[in-house]
Amino acid sequence: MTPIFETLRGGDLVSNAAQTMKRLGVTSMVVMDHMQVSGILTDKNIIENSTAQGLDPQKTTVRDVMTCGEIRCAEDQDLEEIEKKMDQMNTQYLVVLDSNGKPLGMISQDQLA
């Protein structure tokens, strides 16, 4: 698991999010709205859901291109269950939550291998 140091908001512009990701040297970030996890933004989201669609990153919000849904797992969840969930959702990342629902970090398929 990779700890979370910074998050994005759904209303942030894709251009600003991409700059933040570059500055931090990461390919994915957790998106928080109203102190709740609302999604994950990845470099793949930016390419496939923004750039390749011809959307203006200066006008497009993170919410418009992020991965959302049940992109969470518990910190004590079995790794096989996590891997199965990733496969079912066709995602490479899940947000790891503590017992109170607070995000602790992210886990990737690469970390499970």
Low-confidence ranges of the chain (pLDDT < 50): none
Whether pTM exceeds 0.75: yes
Count how many Cα atoms sit within 13 Å of the Cα of residue 47 in the half-sphere of its side chain.
5
Distance CA 35, CA 84 (A): 27
pLDDT tens per residue across span 29-44: 999 999 899 999 999 9
Distance CA 66, CA 49 (A): 8
Residue 108: which of 98, 94, 87 has the closest Cα?
94
Domain range list for the chain: 2-112
Distance CA 31, CA 78 (A): 24
The pLDDT of residue 9: 98
The pLDDT of residue 52: 94
Count how many Cα atoms sit within 13 Å of the Cα of residue 113 in the half-sphere of its side chain.
5
The pLDDT of residue 5: 81
The pLDDT of residue 113: 80
Task: Determine whether domain 2-112 maps to CATH 3.10.580.10.
Answer: yes
